[in-house]
């Protein structure tokens, strides 16, 4: 009998999650009660590493948290690092002077006010994430993140 039971109708517009849909989480900063702020869902695991004149540093485990106008990488608990705002980070061209290996093709070289970093993420997905948070900020009338440099 359970197989023939009427299932709720699916694929209605109200059932779809829109790419720019943000949900407000109670207890978030900017919302009553303070917390991580409005997000598009759970944090997305992502590794980040600083790049200095001496070369790339160690990979730091953490997660990207998306919100209107914000694409914040935050370190996992126990990782000694500061959060880095990536919403307005500038994507740097390939620094290797040629093609990258398949593994390196999944890295995004970034310049932020906090310094230069590599993010272990598909570059196209990262660019789409930046566009998503900027569009959501514009819809809500908020400013897009300012990288703080020309």
pTM above 0.75, yes or no: no
Domain positions in the chain are 45-139
How far apart, in whole angstroms, are the C-alpha atoms of residue 4 and residue 97?
61
Q: Are strands 44-52 and 107-112 parallel, antiparallel or unpaired?
A: unpaired
Topology (CATH level 3) of domain 45-139:
PH-domain like (2.30.29)
pLDDT tens profile 100-147: 555 567 899 999 999 999 999 999 999 999 999 999 989 888 655 544
Joined together, the tokens standing for residue 13 give 């517009």
The mean predicted confidence, pLDDT, of the chain is 75
């Amino acid at each position: 009998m359970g197989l023939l039971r009427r299932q709720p109708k699916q694929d209605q517009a109200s059932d779809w999650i829109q790419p720019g849909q943000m949900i407000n989480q109670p207890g978030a900063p900017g919302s009553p009660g303070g917390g991580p702020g409005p997000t598009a869902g759970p944090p997305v695991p992502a590794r980040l590493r600083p790049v200095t004149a001496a070369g790339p540093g160690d990979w730091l485990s953490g997660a990207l948290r998306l919100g209107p106008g914000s694409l914040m990488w935050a370190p996992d608990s126990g990782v000694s690092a500061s959060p880095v705002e990536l919403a307005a980070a500038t994507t740097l061209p390939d620094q290797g002077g040629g093609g990258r290996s398949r593994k390196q093709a999944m890295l995004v070289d970034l310049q932020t006010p906090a310094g230069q970093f590599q993010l272990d993420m598909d570059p196209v997905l990262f660019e789409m994430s930046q566009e998503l948070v900027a569009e959501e900020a514009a819809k809500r009338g908020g400013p897009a993140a300012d990288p703080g440099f020309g």
